Structure 1
């Protein structure tokens, strides 16, 4: 049993995708930096994808292309508008792997339509 536990395992596809993304970001550093420097404060605060790109850039490189823009204390995420009981149900369903995928999808659909 110990031999099976410690035997080499295949690398999960998500790690391969992440490594590819980091390599691509490193290769395209100057283009990403130029793009981020062109953003205004309003556009950055309205767009979670650009916030994620900025966070990825900051995790790889020391210079901050947005030094002139005041950053939000807490970036917006879709779970911020979710009711606590909905988020808890979604997390419990995912953690326990209970129910059918349809149940999980219904909870997620309801959560994404929160007001």
Structure 2
């Protein structure tokens, strides 16, 4: 996958994971942070390795960001793991659909 394709996958996963019901994401965590591998072996650029990295980062949490609160003060945030079975299944189904469609486009 080239960098643009990876960014598209990360942006879609970011919206799926962090968007409110209106589709707006107000988290200081950026989509490109979902592309950062946790292990050295996950540094490949093929579709399914990138997909696995994005999925792991979206579901396991632990991604750090720095944002501002309503009063303009700096605040540090860390994404939480997805613990609810409903949200886990919904997120995984949507991510799987993204991966399948990208694979279809690439072939």
TM-score range, shorter chain: under 0.3
Q: Which has the higher contact order (CA 8 A, sep 6+)?
A: 2
Provide TM-score, normalisation by structure 2. Answer: 0.23
* Greater helix share, structure number: 1
Provide TM-score, normalisation by structure 1. Answer: 0.22
- Give the greater-gyration-radius structure (CA): 1
